[in-house]
């Protein structure tokens, strides 16, 4: 029995994909969800798939000891022999509980790179404790592996490099299909993009290191040449919200930006964009950066700074346009270059679709199976 222990997640396609495609005759799967509230969408999905699932009420550190006891009890009942933990609280609770039971394969996936080193130095002590408790650590990119080895001095033999995998067909939409076109048209109406060009897309949480504060001035400058441009900002929530909204109100006309806190039809949303922009402020802020893969799978010509997984395969004017960190002028310049050079646009779209094939879900699932079965 392999048990996934996950904290503070309500909905996640990645875990739904694992629950759907990982189990086979050699692998049985269960989940323990540490959440403040019961019956979140992920829990409902798992139960509908008949995956053994336990909800443990977890509201923060005050619940840590009761959570460890409940998790330990359930792992013993299920006779779990592999534990795989995801996200900070689950790592602490799950690895402590499993180590106390003598479970020999204790895995966690590292979903951040140098975030604690930069913003929360005290949390690095917890990271090192978790590194000690784990028998295997999944690094989701070379950047994460580098932080583990060079800043936290983890034994390289403990680290398994397994990038995220994707059901790429969610983003590879056939616009000739009337149902798909209807989905796209519905979002065009919902977000009022029909009379605007170009539509610049951003899908990034409102936090300073995502670099949105450099994209907005770039679009403001773009308006001088393309006065009917519009910027859509999805996942528009986070600790940098006031700063982002002040920039928008100052630099972009009110009818030419749209904030989208959450959109369920992500595949159709990408199709609204003429150019996609994602510019984190340094090479390590993204541990992975799923949006790089999603944008290229969607066939949207993109302007990127190289962070996380992008550093490993994105090449300037091959599969995207690459800009320096924190540089609004270069963002504007490269958006215009894509809009005004059809050959370049087609080239980066075509190459982008080819270059993301290594991130197919079946490759990811196979690597997980090998990790669990010791191959």
- Verify that 192 and 302 share a domain, yes or no: yes
Q: 193-215 burial, b for 16+ CB within 10 Å, e for fewer?
A: beebebbbbbbbebbebbbbbbb
Tokens representing 149? Answer: 């080895």
64 and 148 in a single domain? The answer is yes
Query: 43 and 53 in contact (C-beta within 8 Å)?
Result: yes
Give CA–CA dist 303/160, Å, rounded: 30
Residues 187 and 257 placed together within one structural domain of the fold = yes
Tell me, what's the pLDDT at 61? 86
Please name which of 319, 306, 371, 316 lies closest in space to residue 350, comparing C-alpha atoms: 319
Give me the residues of the chain with pLDDT under 50, please: none
Residue 261 and residue 235 in contact, taking contact as beta carbons nearer than 8 Å: yes
* Helices of type H across the chain: 13-21, 41-48, 64-78, 88-100, 115-119, 123-133, 142-150, 178-190, 212-222, 241-251, 266-270, 290-297, 310-313, 328-340, 342-355, 361-373
Judged by DSSP in three states, 27 sits in: strand
Answer yes or no: do 44 and 118 share one domain. yes
Residues 375 and 261: their CA atoms lie apart, in Å, by 42
| E strand or H helix at 5 | strand 2-7
Which residues are paired to 2 by β-bridges? 29, 82
CA dihedral 137, 143, 148, 150 (to 10 degrees): 150
Tell me which residue of 282, 348, 341, 340 sits closest to 313, measured CA to CA: 348
d(CA 329, CA 182) in angstroms, rounded, equals 36
Same domain, 89 and 197: no
| 151 and 193 inside one domain | no
Per-position DSSP letters for 254-284, written without gaps between them: GGGEEEES--S-HHHHHTT-SEEEE--SSTT
Rounded Cα distance between 59 and 306, Å, is 35
CA–CA separation, 70 vs 50, rounded Å? 21
Instruction: Please give the pLDDT value at position 315.
Output: 97
pLDDT, tens digit (0-9, with 9 covering 90-100), for 33-67: 999 999 999 999 999 999 999 999 999 889 999 99
55 and 116 fall within a common domain: yes
Domain count of the fold of the chain: 2
The answer to whether residues 26 and 78 belong to one domain is yes
Give the residue numbers spanning the domain of 66: 2-165+360-373
Q: Are residues 333 and 264 in the same domain?
A: yes
Q: Check whether residue 119 and residue 257 sit in a common domain.
A: no
| Domain shared by 190 and 335, yes or no | yes
| Domain co-membership, 180 together with 39 | no
User: Is residue 113 a contact partner of residue 54, using CB atoms and an 8 Å limit?
Assistant: no
CATH of the domain at 60: 3.40.50.2000
């Amino acid at each position: 029995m392999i048990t996934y222990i996950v904290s503070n997640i309500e909905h996640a396609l990645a875990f739904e994909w694992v629950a759907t495609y990982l189990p086979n005759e050699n692998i049985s799967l269960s989940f323990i969800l540490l959440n403040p509230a019961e019956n979140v969408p992920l829990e409902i999905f798992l139960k509908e798939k008949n995956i053994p699932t336990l909800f443990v009420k977890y509201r923060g550190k005050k619940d840590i000891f009761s959570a460890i006891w409940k998790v330990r009890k359930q792992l013993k009942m299920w006779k779990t022999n592999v534990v795989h933990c995801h996200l900070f609280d689950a790592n602490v609770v799950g690895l402590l509980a499993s180590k106390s039971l003598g479970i020999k394969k204790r895995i966690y996936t590292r979903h951040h790179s140098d975030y604690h080193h930069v913003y929360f130095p005290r949390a690095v002590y917890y990271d090192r404790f978790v590194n000690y408790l784990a028998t295997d650590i999944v690094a989701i990119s070379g950047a994460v592996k580098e932080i583990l080895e060079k800043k936290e001095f983890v034994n390289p033999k403990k680290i398994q490099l397994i990038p995220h995998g994707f059901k790429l067909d969610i983003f590879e939409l056939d616009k000739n299909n009337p149902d798909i076109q209807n989905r796209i048209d519905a979002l065009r109406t919902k977000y009022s993009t029909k009379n605007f060009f170009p539509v610049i897309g951003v899908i990034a949480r409102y936090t300073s290191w995502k670099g949105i504060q450099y994209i907005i001035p770039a679009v403001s400058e773009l308006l001088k040449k393309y006065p009917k441009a519009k910027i859509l900002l999805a996942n528009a929530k986070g600790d940098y919200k006031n700063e982002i909204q002040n920039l928008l109100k100052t630099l972009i006309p009110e009818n030419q930006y749209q904030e989208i806190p959450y959109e369920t039809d992500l595949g159709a949303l990408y199709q609204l964009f003429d150019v996609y922009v994602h510019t984190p402020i340094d090479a390590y802020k993204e541990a992975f950066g799923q949006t790089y893969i999603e944008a290229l799978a969607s066939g949207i010509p993109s302007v990127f700074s190289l962070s996380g997984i992008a550093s490993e395969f994105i090449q300037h004017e091959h599969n995207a346009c690459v800009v320096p960190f924190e540089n609004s002028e270069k963002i504007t310049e490269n958006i215009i270059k894509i809009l005004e050079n059809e050959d370049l646009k087609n080239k980066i779209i075509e190459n982008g679709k080819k270059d993301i094939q290594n991130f197919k879900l079946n490759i990811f699932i196979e690597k997980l199976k090998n990790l669990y079965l010791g191959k």
